[in-house]
Structure 1
Amino acid sequence: MGRDMITYIKGIVIEKNIDNIIVECAGLGYEVFVCGRDLENISNGKDIVIHTYLKISEDAHTLYGFLDRADLSMFKKLIGISGVGPKAALSIMSTLSTFDLKMAIVSDDHKAISAAQGIGPKIAKRIILDLKEKVDLESITSIESEKPANGGAQSEVVEALVSLGYSSSEAYKVLRSIEIGDSDTTEDILKIALKKMAIF
């Protein structure tokens, strides 16, 4: 049985637990372990399409699933790193979105990654070392497209926030939460960003 035998499951959520869900499909109930961020968006009794990874071990066949295929792709990259198992990868994906994780990797922000439960600085640095080149190659376009509007002012705000001690990934994260118009100045955006940083 190959690991890609079950690529996704489409069915109804019949049970929601602390770290997994039960999806009924064609009369069968599949236990799927999910990250905390996805769990917040899943409800009992609702239809679901979840992209899955099947881990086969001697004593169990375990399904891990994500609502977004990009998250599944990142999960697979994480578990391909020595010392990072599925539980650790889920912990990271529960703490950081795929975008924020990519930003942490390209900006060498091991603190953002080690904020995940059970992830120490050593593993966080290994993740950055192993994935930085891959993320750089595949994500420059997608990262640029996900940045807020008014790129010139945005870059200046990022530089200002970094100079104040925030990480690049924290700066980009807060900017993504702000509706930025073409007429907004660097000062306007920075004031809003600092207020939001206090909340984050």
Structure 2
Amino acid sequence: MIALVQGEVVSKGIDRAVVLAGGIGLEFFAAPATLGSLVVGQTARIHTYLVVREDALTLYGFSQTQERETFATLMGVKGIGPKLGLATLSVLSPAELATAVANRDIVTLQKIPGVGKKSAERMAIEIGDKLGIVPATGATAVKATSGFNAETVVEALTNLGWNQAQATEAVNSIEATDAASALREALKYLGSKK
């Protein structure tokens, strides 16, 4: 696995860039936000995910570890390949994706190029299963008394790229009645800490 590439940015295009690392030009595909942060001639550090196929080895690059971890999770979901995984992260941040999945927000998932209603519904279920996210039930309790499995929420947050300490701090700082609500609140908490 090639997990990290650091070197001079030699070129960049609409959907890919080349970084010279150790005398080897490594081409990788990336989302527009990652490519926008690269400057030709300057050194860059890119978190990568290597996809091995029968006929090709393809690198996908990300500016943040959290994006790479989410991409890796997406690769484990049936029916989601590298192109759809990259398209997903081009439209939604890892936190937005987790929130959309937790809320079963089909409209948000349909913003991903190539994803219709049925695909969005399937994605919400399968990604939720992969991350251990339970759909929101619509119950609105004012004050929760630990009515959810905190370990499940911490695990979902770590799968999305936060470290154990950050995830635990977020879960201990929120109040919720179920895992989906807890995940939403924890993501809001972590988002406000940026």
TM surpasses 0.5: yes
Residue 13 (structure 2) aligned to one of 13, 17, 27: 17
Distance 1:83 1:75 in 2: 13
Partner of 2:30: 34
Q: Distance in 1 between matches of 2:113 and 2:169?
A: 29
Corresponding residue pairs, total: 155
Please name the residue that 1:106 is paired with. 102
TM-score, structure 1 normalization: 0.66
Deviation at 1:131, TM superposition (A): 2.1
> How far did residue 26 of structure 1 move?
1.0
Structure 1 letter corresponding to 2:26 = Y
Identical-pair percentage:
33
Structure showing greater radius of gyration is 1
State how far apart, in whole Å, the 2-side matches of 1:144 and 1:120 are: 36
1:46 pairs with 25, 42, 47, which one? 42
Q: How does 1:1-200 map to 2 (within 5 A)?
A: 4=1, 6-135=2-131, 136=133, 137=152, 138-139=155-156, 142=167, 145=170
Query: What does the per-residue CA deviation read over 1:162-181, in whole Å, with 9 as the maximum and x for residues that have no partner?
Result: xxxxxxx8xx98xx69xxxx
SS in 2 for 1:55: strand
Q: Deviations over 1:151-200 (max 9, x none)?
A: 89xx9xxxxxxxxxxxxx8xx98xx69xxxxxxxxxxxxxxxxxxxxxxx
Which structure 1 residue ranges, 5 or more long, are not aligned? 156-168, 178-200
Contact 1:78–1:127 (Cα < 8 Å) also in 2 = no
Instruction: State the alpha-carbon separation in 1 of the partners of residues 34 and 115 from structure 2.
Output: 20
What TM-score do the two structures reach when normalised by structure 2? Answer: 0.68
Computed over aligned residues only, the root mean square deviation of the Cα atoms, in angstroms, reads 3.0
Q: Structure 2: any 5+ residue segments left out of the alignment?
A: 134-151, 158-165, 177-183
Greater helix share, structure number: 1
